[in-house]
Chains A and B, each alone.
Chain A
Amino acid sequence: MNRRTFLRNTGFVAAGSLFVPAFMKPLEAMALDELSLYKNLVVIQLSGGNDGLNTVVPFGNDIYYQKRKSIAIKPDEVIKLNDMQGLNPNMAALQEIYDQGWMTIINEVGYPNPDRSHFRSMDIWQTGSDSNQFLSTGWIGRYLDSNCQTCKFPYTAIEVDDSLSLAMKGETKKGIALKDPAALFRNTNDPFFKAMLQNDKEHLDEDNLGYLYKTMIETSSSASYIQNTSKIYQSKSTYPNSGFANQLKTVSKFISSGLKTRVYYVSLSGFDTHVNQVGQQGNLLKQYSEGMAAFLKDLKTNNKLDDTLVITFSEFGRRVEQNASNGTDHGTANNMFIFGGKLKKQGIFNAAPNLSDLDTGDLKYQLDFRQVYGTILDKWLDVNNADILNKKFNTLDFI
């Protein structure tokens, strides 16, 4: 075999020798307390603007039924959580999770002067900026930049996807995107790739070429570390057959095999339901809930649920009133979900959306999404949230 395989068929044929940098000790060699330091955060992005009001349904509020004549979820179909709110029936898989106390719902999360463009609002959520501010780094990226005790490795943040989201990009450090650890491992062990990395000392400058080589080296060592640490692990749990559940299965594999990664990022898209929303959103919520339920139970079985915090957000909610096409248009504040084995406040965190006090037909936000980020940064990732979010945000007591 020679390096030409890479070039002939975009090869990436597995190379024989494994490359394990010395600084990576096998799992068993790590002290137990060192391992237990590793609390994980999993961020799940619902792209397209999920309709929060048909996700956590305010069935106790007549206004909901008045505004949504053809798409409201009927009271007897709602999975009731209290007298006011309940889950969409497609989320039945999460009922058990909720009953176990592993789920918190935060209502009406948003930010001042909300933007209704998908791109801009997603940008705001991913960078943690104000709505009139443009940041070129993401909030998790800046957490990586902070160079804290537990975020030094290039594999500190992993996005299970083909490309890396802005949320994961810092000024000097970036997360790593991979869908399949074995494939990345093969690619970085391709003879051509390895040949490029030989005698690379002269490139380790601060300039752009140095940066390219540094990225290659980090990719290569991360790929080896991730593959070698996780390849032995076999999940005993069954997951539903969907792309989303597969991504969560990969995350679970990484967490359960003891990867020293702190942040995972997964997306599920398709929530832009302007037309005939009920069926489309129902399918997606079903995929989401069944995937999540399997994931959380898997973590529980592996004793990792207490060390894991999962959050779910979407770039905005939808307008309170439905449109003429049995769908909903872009809105503002939305609910967020928090999952974990050690939630301080379980169930519904704050008051249900106020449907009678709207801002030109849109929900007003009760909590800034950066308060949620700030809480996680302070209490879960052990950094000062002001250093990451550029100003201090008051924390909440869900963890």
Chain B
Amino acid sequence: MSAKDNFLKVKHLYNRAGFGVSYTDLQKLSKKRLDKVVDNLLKDSQKDDPINLVNDFESKRQLLVQAGLYAKKDLTDDEKKMRQQIIREQNEVSRDLNIAFITKMINTDAPLREKMTLFWHGHFACRSNNPFFAQQLNNIQRKNALGSFKTLLVEVSKSPAMLQYLNNQQNRKGKPNENFARELMELFTLGRGNYSEQDIKESARAFTGWMYDKDGSFIFRENLHDTGTKTFFGKIGNFEGENIIDIILEKPETAQFIAWKVYKFFVNDSPNEAHVKELATHFYNSKYDIASMMKKMFTSDWFYSPENVGTKIKSPAEFLVGLSREFYVTYNKPQVLIQLQSSLGQYLFNPPNVAGWPGGQSWIDSSSLMLRMRIPSLVLNDGEIDFSGKADPEDEAVIALSRTATTKANANMKPKSYVNASVDWPKFLNTLPKGLTPLALTEFLLQPKLNDKITTMVSDNKGLRSTAVEITSMPEYQLC
């Protein structure tokens, strides 16, 4: 294999398994054998470094106050204010948590772990108004990102965020709520068509009593648990939640479904059945060891075949993180990252529904593509923003009020805002070898093969900095 070949393969690996790679690192890594580079990637991602933004103590206090107020029928004005205040604080901390996650992806030195966390973030899609719950779930997904899928599944299933989102708080003996049981099988493990309505009904009974307490910790409430006999996939027993999860994992369809989703996320929107099967079998035989499946995938020849290189549409998170990482961008007003996510259609921690973001070509429509092509110049050249994403319903009331006020005062004045980001150009330029041509820089920054048009466009020797802004504004930069 030629050195150039290895260079391109390692670059592809780091684009898919992480959020890109600096030129310096790429040069170093390319000197190693590919399987060693994969080992290295896994080794770098061994460390689990959770997000500790949300104050545990303060969140528990808020939960208790909220529970108290919820139980009361008539609230005094002060109590109403207190409740409003808590909601306001939670919304603010939720935004901070979003920024913490995306910033972590930008700065991480464990790229595969963060990429996998992003994958599980979409797989176990969940919304929670409570930032403490949301952080907990995010950390569960990060901690187990490359570990045992079973542990991950059990911990997610017991997280207050998911228990609340899928109504398991309301799932009790005699009055089962099937929401969690249904999504567990349809979206988290087996996939549609691999279970019956009866399996949902019976397993819902097994999860009765799985709840969280006032402190926001998991609790198994035996008095609300249905201890009767359940029939699940032909097995009869006095099953509890963990038993149901074990039976689901015994079915190879679960390995197949997860492998299929992993393949779609890391390899290609249109999965190759034979490759998915290979991956699924390996995953199943490894007893659902996620790292082992990832290694198998990254060391397979097909992972590097032309149809899988430079052909996937970056998700908005991959696009924003990749760009920011590449150019060492610091956001002086990080809230702009939320505005960008929202306008591009992937507001982290706010998936459209429990099925997560559909991905692929659904990321792209005329407005999102135009915006994607402008963002590099907005970020790298500090341009002015003249768009506003759609408001989140929780923020809408506030926005509507302020809008009425500004509309009256100043009907035609658009509020001006800037991305206000600092780009460390010297640092970026220092990662590049001396004498690198604009064309070579283009080959480095773009994943698809270059064509004549691009070659001509970048050959007029305008300097690396301008070339970089131009390349990242191209449609080809949307692919990885």
Contact = CB atoms under 8 A, between A and B. Distances in A.
**Pair from one complex:** yes
A271 B396 contact: yes
Contacts of A188: 370
Nearest to B468: A7
A184 B355 CA distance: 33
A209 B479 contact: yes
A36 interface: no
B368 A163 contact: yes
A212 B466 contact: no
B453 A198 contact: yes
A9 B473 contact: no
B99 interface: no
A235 interface: no
B145 to A, nearest CB: 24
Contacts of A393: none
A215 B364 CA distance: 8
Contact of A219 (B361, B370, B377, B404): B370
B370 A7 contact: no
Given A208-B269, A209-B311, A215-B364, A48 B388 contact: no
Given A161-B390, A196-B475, A208-B312, A9 B381 contact: yes
Contacts of A178: 366-367
Contacts of A3: 470
In this complex, the interface size class of chain A, counting residues with CB under 8 Å from chain B, is 35 or more
Interface stretch (B3-11, B60-68, B346-354): B346-354
B399 interface: yes
A162 B473 contact: no
Interface string A289-325: 0000000000000000000000000000000000011
Q: A134, A179, A280, A325: which has the most chain B beta carbons within 10 Å?
A: A134
B457 A272 contact: no
A212 B364 contact: yes
A10 B343 contact: no
B356 to A, nearest CB: 9
Contacts of A161: 390
B337 interface: no
Interface stretch (B72-80, B102-110, B280-288): B72-80
A195 B75 contact: no
A174 interface: yes
B474 interface: yes
Q: A178, A179, A200, A272: which has the most chain B beta carbons within 10 Å?
A: A272
A100 interface: no
A324 B71 CA distance: 12
Interface of A: 3-4, 6-10, 47-49, 117-120, 122-123, 132, 134, 136, 154, 161-166, 168-169, 174-179, 183-184, 187-188, 192-193, 195-196, 198-200, 202, 207-209, 211-213, 215-216, 218-219, 222, 241-243, 267, 269-275, 280, 283-284, 287, 324-325
Q: What 10 pairs across the A-B complex have the smallest Cβ distances?
A: A270-B400, A10-B383, A136-B358, A118-B393, A219-B366, A134-B355, A177-B367, A212-B475, A162-B387, A269-B396
9 contacts: A7-B381, A123-B353, A162-B343, A163-B368, A209-B475, A212-B364, A212-B478, A272-B397, A274-B397
